[in-house]
Amino acid sequence: MSDRKLRLNQIRRQGAPEEVITVAEWDVTPGLHEWITEEVQRREQAARNHQQTCGSWEYDDCAHEVRDQVNSGTVATVYRNGTGDFIALNDPDDALRRCAADRRILAAHPYTTQVINPSYGPRSAGFGCETCHDWDGVPEGRGNCPTILALAEAYGLDDEETDDD
């Protein structure tokens, strides 16, 4: 037996390739920025259509009414306290603030097609986030970043193909 230490990188299985192989998966769902922007616009329009005199609502659990906070105009009559609270917590002003915040998130994560292959590898997703995929000032082509994927999930993107027929 030899006194020489055996190192992990010296162990190879029969027929294993000599070079290191990096396996990476990127989410390349096309048009997520545009889709999220359309969803934000849709929600903004719905919020503006329901702003009435006041965009801030409150729930009166005695009267089972959701009312605007300025003139106490009834917005909805509900019979479950949880539903009334939910509606009041998602009033038009709240929805518009969330939409504005989501637009800022989108703006903070711009995509570019001027990318390099990640880790100088042989493949690229073809686009990348200038913020999350920055590598010394040059974006790597890693596809959709985790921030945009999380935002898309919040707007209802389902990563599984589902058929509700």
Residues 74-103: tens digit of each pLDDT:
777 888 778 888 878 888 889 999 999 999
Of 96, 101, 97, 90, which is closest to residue 147 (Cα–Cα)? 101
Q: CA–CA distance from 5 to each of 9, 13, 75 (Å)? A: 12, 18, 77
Task: For residues 15-31, give the mean pLDDT.
Answer: 62
Residue 109 is predicted with a pLDDT of: 96
**What pTM was estimated for this model as a whole?**
0.71
pLDDT band, very low/low/confident/very high, at 125 (cuts 50, 70, 90): confident
